[in-house]
Amino acid sequence: MGVVLIVDTSNSFSLSLFHNDNLVCCFTNSDRLCSNSIVSYINEMLNNASISVNDIDYVGVSVGPGSYTGIRVGYSFSVGLCQALNKKMLVFNILEAVYSYLKDIYIYNIVYPIINASNNNLFTLVDGVVTKISIFEFQKLLVSVRNALVVLLDSVFDECFSKSNIKIVRISNICEEIYYFVRRNIDGKKFCDIRKYRVDYFED
C-alpha cells in the first residue's frame, strides 16, 4: 500500500501517517491549525519515521463537516502537496468515515457519529445525510429510534447523553477509523480530481 498521509482539520485537527497499513505516527490536538504548523508537524512526523515527503503515495483529507477555516487550511495544503509531488488525493467526510468503520464492528440498527457544531448544535448523519441539528432535537430523535449507537467524536457532549438509554461510544483518536475508510477508497481508486473538485463548505 505504501505511505498514506491523512489530514483532518475539520474539527480540531489530526495528522496521521501509515506505511503498509501500519500506523507510523499520529498527532492530534484540540487547538486550531494554521498552514505553517501543518508543515512543521508533518515534517516532524516524517523525520521520526525516517520517511521522505517524496515517499508519500496518497493523501487523504477531510472535507467536513466542521470548521470552515479548518477545512480550508487542510484541503488547500493537501491540494498543494499533491500538485507539487504529483500524488493521488482522496477526500472524505469525517462522519461517513467513522460510520463506515463502526457499522462493520457494531451490530446496531442505526449509528449516529456526532461532532460539535457550536451554539448547542451538532453534526451527525440522519438517513445517510450530514445534518446540523440542535442537541435538544437530537435527544428527541433518539427517543424515537431503537437499537441505536451514538458515537461521540469529542468531549463536548459527554454530559448530554450520560443518562441516555442509548449505547454511547466515545472515541478521542480516530486515526485508525479514518484510515479504514481511506484505504477502501484507495482500493476502489476513488481519487479526487483536484482540478475540478470543490468542497461544499467553501460555497458560503
Kindly report, residue by residue over 29-46, the tens digit of the pLDDT: 766 555 568 888 899 999
Confidence bin at 86 (pLDDT 50/70/90) = very high
Residue 186 pLDDT more than 60? Answer: yes
Do 164 and 100 share a structural domain?
yes
Do 184 and 160 share a structural domain?
no
Do 121 and 57 share a structural domain?
no
pLDDT at 20: 93
Confidence bin at 80 (pLDDT 50/70/90) = very high
**Residue 78: CA count within 13 A, CB half-sphere:** 31
Do 59 and 25 share a structural domain?
yes
Q: How confident is the prediction for the chain on average, in pLDDT? A: 85
pTM: 0.88
Query: What tens digit of pLDDT does each residue of 117-172 get?
Result: 888 899 999 888 999 999 889 888 888 887 788 888 776 676 676 656 677 877 76
Q: Could you tell me which of 54, 57, 58 has the C-alpha nearest to residue 90? A: 58
Do 178 and 81 share a structural domain?
yes
Do 84 and 28 share a structural domain?
yes
Query: What tens digit of pLDDT does each residue of 191-201 get?
Result: 998 888 877 75
- Report angle CA 1, 178, 4 to the nearest 5 degrees: 30
Do 86 and 102 share a structural domain?
no
Do 16 and 77 share a structural domain?
yes
Do 72 and 121 share a structural domain?
no
pLDDT at 52: 94
Higher per-residue confidence, 185 vs 31: 185
CATH code, 38: 3.30.420.40
Do 60 and 99 share a structural domain?
no
d(CA 20, CA 25): 13
Amino acid at 193: D
User: To 10 degrees, what angle do helices 68-85 and 35-48 make?
Assistant: 50
Do 80 and 70 share a structural domain?
yes
Do 126 and 87 share a structural domain?
no
CATH code, 129: 3.30.420
Q: Residue 110: give the domain boundaries.
A: 95-170
pLDDT at 203: 47
Average pLDDT (65-80) is: 89
Q: How many domains does the chain have?
A: 2
Residue 190 pLDDT more than 60? Answer: yes
Residue % of the chain over a pLDDT of 90: 40
Residue 4 pLDDT more than 90? Answer: yes
d(CA 101, CA 175): 11
CB atoms near residue 81 (< 10 Å): 20
pLDDT at 192: 92
